[in-house]
């Protein structure tokens, strides 16, 4: 279990991020067409998982835009933006913001992703959604970088995450 804050108010997560050097947990998330998506759908590609509480918040929007800009020039990388938002809301956000280089994925059918990645907030007003985190995987789904952002309102360390790609 880890502690994160939102404007200084502490909240607990259910666990820890996957260990660097270990295999990433597989997942079942939902894309914009309501298909179940897993790691196997991106076989062979490096993956940056931008895990956000909701795209309907300023910091989540900023991080998604910044990773979208980076993804424009990388055919060997897929950026997955994971949130509790419904796929329809994710699609509206991406359309409105001109975001087309990342893949928004929803936890609408299950919170298992958040549990397996150790980012499910278990108490306080945000219980049931994710803490802010970045997980980078190589083409074989080995974890090469993780960051649990200590203050949910803060942006992740973009340079560190992108440097390992």
- By annotation, the residues acting in catalysis are 60
SS3 helix, strand, coil % of the chain, rounded to 5?
25, 30, 45
Distance CA 102, CA 4 (A): 26
Give residue 38's Cα distance to chain centre. 14
- What does the buried/exposed string (b/e) look like for 64-94 if buried means 16 or more CB atoms within 10 Å of the residue's CB? beebbebbeeeeebbbbbbbbbebebbbebb
């Amino acid at each position: 279990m880890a502690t994160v804050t939102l404007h200084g108010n502490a909240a607990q997560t259910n666990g820890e991020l996957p260990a660097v050097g270990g295999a990433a947990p597989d997942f079942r998330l939902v894309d914009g067409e309501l298909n179940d998506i897993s790691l196997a759908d991106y076989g062979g590609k490096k993956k940056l998982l931008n895990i956000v509480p909701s795209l309907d918040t300023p910091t989540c929007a900023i991080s998604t835009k910044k990773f979208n800009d980076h993804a424009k020039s990388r055919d060997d990388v897929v950026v997955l933006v994971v949130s509790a938002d419904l796929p329809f809301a994710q699609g509206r956000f991406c359309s409105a913001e001109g975001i087309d280089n990342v893949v928004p994925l929803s936890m609408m059918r299950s919170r298992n992703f958040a549990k397996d990645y150790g980012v499910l907030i278990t108490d306080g007003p945000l219980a049931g959604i994710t803490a802010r985190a970045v997980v980078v995987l190589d083409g074989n789904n080995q974890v090469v970088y993780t960051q649990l952002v200590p203050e949910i309102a803060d942006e992740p360390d973009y340079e560190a995450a992108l440097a390992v790609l």
